[in-house]
Amino acid sequence: MFGLKKYDNDISTINEIENKDLLFISYDEQIPKTYRGVVFSLYIDKDGHVQCEKNKNQMPDPSTIYIHLPITEDYKVEPLPYWPHYIDIEPGQRFVYLNWLRNVDAPIDTGYVFLYYYGLERHLLVGDFDKAFNQIIRLRNTHKNKSFQKYSEQALIHSCILRNRLDMLVNLHEKTEISGFSNAQFLLAYNLKMDLSAQNILQVFHRAFSLSRKTIKENYNLLEECTKEVLHNKFGSDVFPIKSYDISKTKTTIETRFANYSFPEEIQKVEITDFYQCKSLMTDIEYIFNLSYKNYKEKIAFERKKQNLNKSSEEIKQAKLKRDINRYKKLLSDKKLNQEEFDVLLNFINNKNSQS
């Protein structure tokens, strides 16, 4: 009924689960303790490539499905804990998880998403990179948990670099929402002496300047156009060169590359140059943002005036009223007005509007 067949109260086969080849399944009857057993281990060889081998007495991979662990048909189960492990979860939770795998777009507690995602990170490093990459994008576009979005974004970017799959990195922002240009991307461009495109610069804006986020969401294409104009005026082209900046004294930061906590620390985390702490670089980028934003606002105002020429006086009046109300709501939200002051202003503009 649920795509699960049982044998002596254990799972013997898993049917009707899509992308079964992305799952790690163990038929071992000897279930390891959570922190012991024969498990895979990752390491970086002398050529900088990620390698995989089996080792004893290390933490078993949390995503591996052990078919001899019991399941119980139960829909009323507790949410999974932080950092879930398939061995540790309850039989009813295994039932919920295995059924959800039939359609990973279905809403579910984020712990189950992470449990599946841990295995996808393994594929990013030593398995089917392309299929896992696209599956993670699918999860990101469906499950909007902030923690999951943060971890998976880092994994996608770093795995592209580690696996030398820069082709997948180029248009990542078109496939899923990206929070900004990462330090790993900065370092890659710097080492390869690559210039940043206007799209890259907008990603830096998004991470560095809160004012840019609403603008990017409102009209990405227009802000990109304005940024290209600024870059062209300053550098004679639509790109921003970064190779000349001195980063030798720039602070470093420890970043988490992967969420799978069975990975060794040198794989899971990395010490990396924090380009957002490079004062000379960020001063110039802020200058570009300020000019681009000014250009953007002028173009928006010009378009609004063009539209107003075709509006009746009543439409113009209502539009202004709406802008005033939204501005007062923002002041109230930012606690620059209290509720009483907000109510007074609201009554005033409403009365003024009714009398005019």
C-alpha distances in Å from residue 186, one per residue of 8, 128, 194, 305, 308? 54, 26, 9, 40, 43
Mean pLDDT of 326-346: 85
Residue 105 has pLDDT above 90, yes or no: yes
Mean pLDDT of 320-336: 86
**pLDDT tens for residues 106-135?**
999 999 999 999 999 999 999 999 999 999
Q: Of 119, 148, 176, which closes a domain?
A: 176
- How does residue 42 score in pLDDT terms, banded at 50, 70 and 90? low
CB 155 within 8 A of CB 147: no
- How does residue 171 score in pLDDT terms, banded at 50, 70 and 90? confident
In angstroms, rounded to a whole number, what is the distance separating the alpha carbons of residues 270 and 267?
Answer: 7
- Same domain? 88 vs 195: no
Mean pLDDT of 11-40: 74
Copy the structure tokens of residue 91: 């039989």
- Same domain? 267 vs 331: no
* Residue of 273, 279, 258 lying closest to 132 (CA atoms): 258
Please give the residue that has the higher pLDDT: either 17 or 80: 80
Number of helical (H) and strand (E) elements in the chain, helices listed first: 13, 8
**pLDDT tens for residues 241-297?**
999 999 999 999 999 999 999 999 999 999 999 999 999 999 999 999 999 999 999
Q: Of 130, 156, 176, which closes a domain?
A: 176
Residue 12 has pLDDT above 80, yes or no: no
- How does residue 35 score in pLDDT terms, banded at 50, 70 and 90? low
269 three-class SS? strand
In angstroms, rounded to a whole number, what is the distance separating the alpha carbons of residues 24 and 247?
Answer: 42
Residue 232 has pLDDT above 70, yes or no: yes
- The percent of residues in the chain predicted with pLDDT above 90, rounded, is 66
- Same domain? 170 vs 207: no
Contacts of residue 100, defined as CB under 8 A and 6 or more positions apart, other chains included, come to 106, 108, 112
Residue 2 has pLDDT above 70, yes or no: no
- Same domain? 158 vs 243: no
Q: Average pLDDT, whole number, for the chain? A: 87
Please give the residue that has the higher pLDDT: either 22 or 179: 22
The pLDDT score that the predictor gives to residue 306 is 74
Q: At what angle do helices 129-142 and 146-162 cross, to 10 degrees?
A: 160
- Same domain? 128 vs 276: no
- Same domain? 110 vs 184: no
The pLDDT score that the predictor gives to residue 6 is 45
The pLDDT score that the predictor gives to residue 356 is 61
Residue 18 has pLDDT above 50, yes or no: yes
- Same domain? 260 vs 114: no
The pLDDT score that the predictor gives to residue 55 is 55
Residue 41 has pLDDT above 80, yes or no: no
265 three-class SS? helix
Structural domain including 108 reads 1-176
- Same domain? 260 vs 301: yes
Per the structure, how many domains does the chain have? 3
Please give the residue that has the higher pLDDT: either 343 or 137: 137
- For 92, the enclosing helix (H) or strand (E) is helix 91-100
- Same domain? 3 vs 86: yes
- Same domain? 134 vs 189: no
- Same domain? 36 vs 168: yes
The pLDDT score that the predictor gives to residue 13 is 40
- Same domain? 261 vs 340: no
- How does residue 149 score in pLDDT terms, banded at 50, 70 and 90? very high
Residue 347 has pLDDT above 90, yes or no: no
101 three-class SS? coil
In angstroms, rounded to a whole number, what is the distance separating the alpha carbons of residues 344 and 336?
Answer: 14
Copy the structure tokens of residue 118: 């841990």
- For 255, the enclosing helix (H) or strand (E) is strand 252-256
Please give the residue that has the higher pLDDT: either 219 or 310: 219
The pLDDT score that the predictor gives to residue 52 is 65
Q: Of 176, 207, 236, which closes a domain?
A: 176
5 three-class SS? strand
51 three-class SS? strand
Least confident of 200-204, 226-230, 319-323: 319-323
